[in-house]
Structure 1
């Protein structure tokens, strides 16, 4: 069954909406505006949006096993307390690269946090993928540095890791070794620049990979073999990432962006930067909380 047409459910107008997260414990969709330096929480039942200012550019937000929240800021990993609005530093993985920022992240099925960095100026190949093990950020040596990392994302069994090279237009699939590290890789899919830039990846319960297309006005669904199965079109150009939510995990929430659009494009796309939603046939997967001291 094809997905329903996306509709704007929250007129937030984000400059660079990203990092959607469905948090079942409070039945809400969390996301960030990177360039607007805001963390957002959307309650779909009440139709209410609550926002917090961040001290630097936030790339993502994820739950922690102890009940807290972790946010990836430009300056590193921070614990975030919505009750007080405070961001407490936890770990700075790249103090030697002040021009980098954290961009995207996921939690593996075993609870290990994986996250990526990128050159904020979008020029230098300084973006790396890290995993948090024994409380420390360990660079994934098998994954070459690129300008903009997105993801990673994991197959439901945790044995395949997907990494997106956004400017290179390539999605790579890595076999995950028994010790949890990425090993042998294969080219999973290539995106023609005319179709947009591959952005955030998300995996559903059937093991299919969903990719937002920045500048492509769509999200794509690929089979585990890399076959394009479905394209969902949006009324805005910049679709960044989706997250599955709702009681049945069949509502796909999509963050979008106004970044890079000129006045004429913004006038033609009044919903740019909004949070969208559409229904899908195959549900998503529950988000695993981060085990900060994962043995790795």
Structure 2
């Protein structure tokens, strides 16, 4: 199970000041950590080895950006899925999503080992339970679960047989049985105490790591649902932690200042930054989207 390394004190690597930083993901081919600022409508790339930094404007609120087999990124932008070309900085709509739910935006996303894209939607005002879970593969979009307040995830166990997905407003983490892109057996896996469950990742031992919004760290659960000690961070809202670097033992964490007034932001000046820390157990290799 993932444990803190001796040098595990969180390090601020980029003071992004993101209103709603999200979705760190490892791009092994480029040695980059991609992340987004949903409300700021920005896409960011951080060089793991050299600390390089680059940012692009997105067409609208952007929930995730995940690497593809052809070297592009598949991005969840409000209104649909876009293909982003890092060489040109251009976003191109490839699949409209939820034209029938104009109050929604896309949130977190994940690429499963078979190359399929899984992602969720949510009411942008966080008032209506209009969020859903989708699978996009082979050019076909399928709505596989519905009725969420705020979706987050999904993530998958190392053997691919369990998929985790959150209803953040309810503080619920669900588990599903997963076989060949189909889900069944939806059940309650865990309920968060401190903070709200935000973006998840899974390590090679099957431990679920969950960013805790207003929970001051990364929550962890063993495969049997046992709660493990939180990995603390120095800001209240941790939105997601992802295993990055060549050995997949560097945990990059996005954070946010969403919902803070000026006084609270002054008290937490690092909120919205990109942090990293070392862990002993590696994560799972980042799969690539087959589009």
Q: 1:162 aligns with which of 161, 164, 169?
A: 164
Give the Cα–Cα distance (whole angstroms) in 2 for the partners of residues 277 and 270 of structure 1.
17
**Alignment correspondent of 2:207:** 208
**Alignment correspondent of 1:218:** 217
- What SS does the corresponding residue of 1:161 show, helix, strand or coil? strand
The offset of 1:146, in angstroms, is 0.8
Query: What is the TM-score normalised by the length of structure 2?
Result: 0.96
Give the Cα–Cα distance (whole angstroms) in 1 for the partners of residues 138 and 129 of structure 2.
27
Give the Cα–Cα distance (whole angstroms) in 2 for the partners of residues 2 and 230 of structure 1.
10
Give the Cα–Cα distance (whole angstroms) in 1 for the partners of residues 4 and 40 of structure 2.
34
- What SS does the corresponding residue of 1:26 show, helix, strand or coil? coil
The offset of 1:93, in angstroms, is 1.9
Q: Is the 8 A contact 1:5 1:232 kept in 2?
A: no
Q: Is the 8 A contact 1:258 1:273 kept in 2?
A: yes
The offset of 1:230, in angstroms, is 2.4
* 1:245 is the counterpart of 2:244: yes
Give the Cα–Cα distance (whole angstroms) in 2 for the partners of residues 196 and 9 of structure 1.
24
* 1:278 is the counterpart of 2:280: no
Give the Cα–Cα distance (whole angstroms) in 2 for the partners of residues 169 and 144 of structure 1.
16
* 1:185 is the counterpart of 2:195: no
Q: Is the 8 A contact 2:130 2:146 kept in 1?
A: no
Give the Cα–Cα distance (whole angstroms) in 2 for the partners of residues 185 and 77 of structure 1.
26
- What SS does the corresponding residue of 2:147 show, helix, strand or coil? coil
Give the Cα–Cα distance (whole angstroms) in 2 for the partners of residues 133 and 275 of structure 1.
30
Cα deviation, 1:119-151, whole Å, max 9, x if unaligned, reads 0010101100000133121011xx341110000
Give the Cα–Cα distance (whole angstroms) in 2 for the partners of residues 268 and 175 of structure 1.
43
**Alignment correspondent of 2:76:** 72
**Alignment correspondent of 1:259:** 258
Q: 2:120 aligns with which of 87, 108, 116?
A: 116
Give the Cα–Cα distance (whole angstroms) in 2 for the partners of residues 59 and 198 of structure 1.
16
Give the Cα–Cα distance (whole angstroms) in 2 for the partners of residues 231 and 29 of structure 1.
23
Q: Is the 8 A contact 1:113 1:290 kept in 2?
A: yes
Alignment of 1:136-151 (within 5 A): 136-140=140-144, 143-151=145-153
The total of aligned residue pairs comes to 287
Runs of 4+ that moved beyond 6 A: none
Cα deviation, 1:59-96, whole Å, max 9, x if unaligned, reads 00111122221111012100001222110000012111
- What SS does the corresponding residue of 2:247 show, helix, strand or coil? coil
* 1:86 is the counterpart of 2:90: yes
**Alignment correspondent of 1:174:** 176
* 1:38 is the counterpart of 2:42: yes
Q: 1:23 aligns with which of 3, 23, 27?
A: 27
Q: Is the 8 A contact 1:109 1:156 kept in 2?
A: no
The offset of 1:105, in angstroms, is 0.6
Q: Is the 8 A contact 2:115 2:137 kept in 1?
A: no
Give the Cα–Cα distance (whole angstroms) in 2 for the partners of residues 271 and 212 of structure 1.
16
Q: Is the 8 A contact 1:257 1:273 kept in 2?
A: yes
Give the Cα–Cα distance (whole angstroms) in 1 for the partners of residues 222 and 38 of structure 2.
30
Q: Is the 8 A contact 2:72 2:86 kept in 1?
A: no
**Alignment correspondent of 2:230:** 231
